[in-house]
Structure 1
Amino acid sequence: MTTDILRIAVAQLNPIVGDVAGNLEKARAARAEAAGRGADLVVYSELFLAGYPPEDLVLRPAFQEACRAALDDLVADTADGGPAVLIGLPLREGDKLHNSVALADAGALVGVRHKVDLPNYAVFDEKRVFQPGPLPGPLGFRGVRLGVPICEDIWTEEVTECLAETGAEILIVPNGSPYERAKIDIRMQIAVERVVETGLPMIYANQLGGQDELVFDGGSFGLAADRRLAFQMKQFVEDVAITTWRRGEGGWELAEGPQEVLADQVTADWQACVLGLRDYVDKNRFPGVVIGLSGGIDSAVCAAMAVDALGAERVHCVMLPYRYTSSESLKDAEACADALGMRYDTVPIAEAVEAFEAMLAPLFAGHAPGVTEENIQSRVRGTALMAISNKFGSMVVTTGNKSEMSVGYATLYGDMNGGFNPIKDLYKSEVYNLARWRNAHRPEGLLGPQGEVIPANIIQKEPTAELREGQRDQDSLPPYDVLDAILEGLVEREASAAELISEGFDADTVKRVQKLLYVAEYKRRQAAPGVKITQRNFGRDRRYPIVNGWRDAV
């Protein structure tokens, strides 16, 4: 049997790692929707039944068996005469475990293909758990030969060349490609290269949703054989899109599909932070979040992201003032809570701080007060927030930005307490930019209000931790525009100190920032996970030794 028209549904969905039964039901619901819209085939993202990335969970035999049982159930479903399914899962063949896709149609398992090119860089560790498959040929489907490279298989030419040489007519690529800035342009560039080389149209189906520090942004698309953008789905939105393809003299051409407009970078950054926070809270089944609202920019932006992600009714903000907390901070925090519609409470910490100081006074006798006493304030606040979390079940959102995480301008077991940090991979200057942006924009799907949600005074005033009289961040750090530029060089570009000095940065400042970056590694290892935005986030991307005697010579 051959066909000249194919209606292919792209299921851009949000699976949960390890929830095999839930992912199966999500796949079934998408298939039912696609059937109602006349689809012949439903395409799911990489390792959909397992969720991606499953990390070492995938090594458990019981988990592998559960994924295979879910596939068998889905194969049986296709006996109803509805659409076929092309779905990803881990499959064991003998002593080898593969990252695989399976094609099921008319109650039968038509075929499987295994991922060949296993990524083992940046956030990826697939060689740790999977073995590569052999170079694949196409899968036969109702008279059409489908080439199915899996994600990384299209980042080099070997797999797609093999598929083209063995008769593939369309390339269908299940993906688990996480968000980072400019990543969607890189994906498109790679896809265009493979289309040019093979002369075949391509469907690129990407996963959606947050998984620990990774966010998958969707943005699935298709390319015509002449490199034109055939269809484009939205980022950050679950959807089942129907694409209609017709066989012509020159091969398969798209007749109909969605034509969405992608978000700009600032909008995408905000949406990634919101989606990452929402999924971390919801997939871990927290009822809501609690945030220490200081009247400063970081906690205000985190509060706005939390309300956009979860709704105001699930966000509890607490001001924890001490003698150095200014009336301006009290006013700004309350105004922010009012603008966002959150519950807002005040819990003074003076009694607890003074009790700690009295308790430690005999031991500290003869030593001048300093940073240690300042950090007691932060640790009392951290303990109070964790107690509120413990009592009511809400997760503490921690609010340190990438500038602070880089140089250790944060207190262990104090303001670093918490379960998740939506701005962990954003430099301080970027946090300010996002605050201004959010006051002027509210993309579709966000749950927070429109208008000014971060009071203008919070954005305009000089940043301070308010741990001593008259304290300013700039007393301890270079100006944030300078600090962030140096950190971008050291962290994102791995530039040497000498290179940065040659670019015009002050030598003493560069050396000081470099030292702070290295010695803060032990703090970062104990920090909460947070959304990956940049190419080099602290966590899965950038892995430095804690014990580290290296310093660049200048």
Structure 2
Amino acid sequence: MFGFYRLAAAVPKLKVADAAFNTEELRRCFRQAAENGADAVVFPELCVTGYSCGDLFFQERLLAAAEAAAVDFAARTAGSRTVAVIGLPFRRGDVLFNAAAVAADGAIRGIVPKCVLPNYREFYEKRHFHSGRGITDATACIGGREVPFGADLIFDGGAGFRFGVEICEDLWCVLPPSLYLALGGARAVFNLSAGNELAGKADYRRELVTQQSARCLAAYVLAGAGVHESTTDLVFGGHAIIADNGRLAAENRRFDRESSLTYADVDFERLGAARLSESSFNDNPLPEGMRFRRVRLPEAAGSPDLRHASIPRHPFVPENAAGRRERCREIFDIQCAGLAKRIEHTRAKTMVIGISGGLDSTLALLVAAECCRLLGRPASDIIAFTLPGFGTTGRTYNNAVTLCRLLGTTFREVDIKAACLQHFSDIGHDPAICDTAYENVQARERTQILMDVANKTGGLVVGTGDLSEIALGWSTYNGDHMSMYAVNCSIPKTLIRFLIETTAERETPELAAVLRDVIDTPVSPELLPADGDGAINQKTEELIGPYELHDFFLYHFIKYGAEPEKIRCLAENAFAGTYPPDVIGRWFALFVRRFFRQQFKRSCVPDGPKVGTIALSPRGDWRMPSDASDAAWNC
């Protein structure tokens, strides 16, 4: 479904050296994975026999039983579209390998030997096995059939579903095989593992897997041997981890005494898009002479649904509260550092900001106040203007005035209504007609005042517009669209509330109360007259749609170039029960239309700091013709 594939890590019960029992449990786990729509399931290292057989690996009876069991297991996969990766001791000629067999639709399709054999402390694999490093273009006979054998195999289930295999210690070495598998085209790596448990080792293993998935821009699935391995000297915890390009997608509970399966729906299209545009991935060629063989598998079905996918409603906002707080503080620091550098460089004597009592200008004011602290300057160097117009309400006005007082800024108020009425007269506009001209005259009047005062005081106008507004072009060209340094330019609306809340947590109760009221105020440019009760009449999200939807659209459109149908499908899953599909479709159509037709505003935006992976600066992140057609995206 839209490039998503369901991956599973299985940790089965086993009996050491009992291939018949173990294979029956493998089959049971496989059936469960297949019934749950898994495209592939990976089992632990040497799971057919158990990892901890010791010198029993030299016994003919065990080796013959393991091969027969693996062939029988593969035969039982006939008719299924689920691929299984199982571990077994495999004898090729007179050499014994710790190997992984890839089984699909009734047959073993290839065998991958372990390359890096641990032989330190509790590990002594070189006593029993040989490394598969350097074995390429080879075959092996199993169950009377010749199959590809070697560390040069990439398995291909079509439509981007390509994976490679490495085994346990392969990941822990300096140059894991997975690095080369990824460069060779694998978008997922399956690791059959048998790492024992030590205090703190699980944390390290988890970090290792997630970091390797990020380094390879791939999915990484690890299945570890469980508690039923021998406990003569070691205990195995059965750790199962699924990571996706640096994100922990799924993890099991260790030390479970029953067989378990862990699932994650991973977006392989997104991985491919990240490799295409988000990194220097393709600047790393394979070493000279290294080649990979493609082993064709039956076509993978793809996830039947997205119930094991991570589709956050607010992709710009960390879901974990502690992580969100840390992220917000870091972003705030980036904003402050950017503004401080610009003030130092320009030798600006003042910072001039228009304060509306809304989210964006509040955040910009907080950044300016912190910038003054960093530079050892008084907050009175900030000239904060409130510029009431035809739509200004008492709530926003009072919050703006109180913020400036509590932060100690220089405060000025200029009522722009008379100037706007004069301008209406000059251009022959009837002020009773509340159209675009009516609104934009006010926005440009405010900007003119700020710019002129900055010139008069040797200052710099601090812009307040955010990423969501820039994406939608929800600004007045050469009005609030323009400033001398835009501190919020790469922060989406859904994140700004959390940035202000994080700051409120560190402030006095009086200031925190004002900041929280700003957070609770409906988003509005306040350019149309208030309603009969003096409340905000012009609510942005009623006009152009919820910002949480637009930020969702923006994230998937920009970061991974997702197709329109896919974006809508993801949104329908993420916002199920909140917005019906027709509402999502309507606002997505508006997003596309505005994003394309308002590009001309983005082509000449002020400087400002990038704080996340998505920004729309024409100088750094987004270069798009101002007259590009949106026809292909309106479907």
TM-score when scaled to structure 2? 0.44
